[in-house]
Amino acid sequence: MKTRAAVAQGPGQPFQLVELDIDEPRSDEILVRIKAVGLCHTDLTVKEMLPAEMFPRVFGHEGAGVVEAVGPDVEGVAVGDHVVMSFRSCRECARCQAGEVGYCDQTLMLNYMGCRMDGSTTLHHDGSDVAGSFFGQSSFSELALGTRDNVVVIDPAVDLAIAAPFGCGFQTGAGAVLNTIDPDPVSSIVIYGAGTVGLAAVAAAKARGVQTIVAVDTQDSRLEHATRLGAVGVNPGELGDGALVERLKELTAGGATAGVDTTAVAQVIKQAVRALAPRGTLVVLGLGAPEIELDAVDLMQNGKIVRGCIEGDSDPLTMIPQLLEMLGAGTLPLGSLITTYPFDQINKAVEDVNAGAVVKPVLVF
């Protein structure tokens, strides 16, 4: 079969639209015709992190579309179903069996290596293999192959362009609040970075009834989104040196119950820990800073917790329907964050999101 895909030829290079061959679905695979796919920071970050020998490659991991074919061993998904695609997990290891699918023993192979577990690729060009299977889908393509663990059937009434980002970005931010922090209404939460993930965290905190929500970002346009979703916006660029932590403590009556970092900037994370109340928790979501410097005395004496979080500690098979139900009820109003682009304008979407001109680009076919 033929598919048109946005192919990355190497780090630092723009995406190129190329006609590829895609395999017929195997017995455990699901073929999805992609109607919309979110452009996620992870697509762009991993593209720049991987060595040149791991290209050419097709990214994309927030695909939404309609099922076109189903392997004979697949249960619970049928041709014609509307679906959102998310990350893969083996569903067999001890962590998966415990419900911690984001921490699956096979995460690296299933989501990042560019091939199936047996080493074969799903995509080809002129007889040569093209790395795919990114998050088990590579949905920067008109057709994508997934499996039962990462293909989520949704209500066909949901706009697929709005549903797509729930496969990763919205799920990650909202899940970090609803699953990892699990706040009560008297909590206070500070969210660092008001992009897709951070704003989803703001909306989830508001939906949970959290009384004090603060969003920190250097772009006033993003803080405006945060304010509309229920947060108090703070631009650290408008404060003096070292004043951010004190300002946050003022807003949170002495320190935040919890923080969510989406920036992956080491200095921001250090300040976020300082701004916590005793026994407070900082959840780190961003992909970037390889090392973080923390005040060990503050950490120990105040019983603070710093922890990582993958995909909002979510199981997409249950979390995505839950979040879409909240979307439909109006308690998670994230559709306003989306700007759509025709698929062939993918490089324009990359340019705009990097410039801060849009929050969440979604490519539509």
pLDDT tens digits for 239-285? 877 799 999 999 999 999 999 999 999 999 999 999 999 999 999 99
In this predicted structure, what is the pLDDT of residue 288?
76
The residue extents of the domains of the chain are 2-167+334-364, 170-311
The reported pLDDT for the residue numbered 16 is 98
Residue 290 scores a pLDDT above 90 = no
Contact by Cβ (8 Å): 311, 102: yes
Cis peptide before 56 (omega within 30 of 0): yes
133-168 pLDDT per residue, tens: 999 999 999 999 999 999 999 999 999 999 999 999
Whether the per-residue pLDDT at 223 is higher than 90: the answer is yes
Per-residue pLDDT reduced to its tens digit, 124-139: 999 999 999 999 999 9
Q: pTM for this structure?
A: 0.96
The residue assigned the tokens 């080809």 is: 124
Predicted confidence (pLDDT) at residue 50 exceeds the cutoff of 80: yes
What pLDDT was estimated at residue 330? 97
User: Which 8-state DSSP code applies to residue 46?
Assistant: H
Q: CA-to-CA distance for 261 and 285, rounded, in angstroms?
A: 6
Query: Taking 80 as the threshold, does the pLDDT of residue 12 lie above it?
Result: yes
Which CATH superfamily, name and number, covers 170-311?
NAD(P)-binding Rossmann-like Domain (3.40.50.720)
Listing DSSP states for 169-203 in one string gives HHHHHHHIIIIII---TT-EEEEE--SHHHHHHHH
- pLDDT interval class at 301 (50, 70, 90): very high
CA atoms within 13 A on the CB side of 266: 7
Q: How confident is the model at residue 322 (pLDDT cuts 50, 70, 90)?
A: very high
Provide the pLDDT for residue 94: 98
Residue 344 confidence (pLDDT) above 80: yes
Asked if residue 287 has pLDDT above 90, the reply is: no
The correct answer on CATH 3.40.50.720 for the domain covering 2-167+334-364 is: no
- Asked if pLDDT for residue 190 goes beyond 80, the answer is yes
Please return the burial class of 2, using the count of CB atoms within 10 Å of its CB with bins 0-12, 13-18 and 19+.
Answer: exposed
| pLDDT bracket for residue 355 (50, 70, 90) | very high
Distance, CA of 62 to chain centre = 8
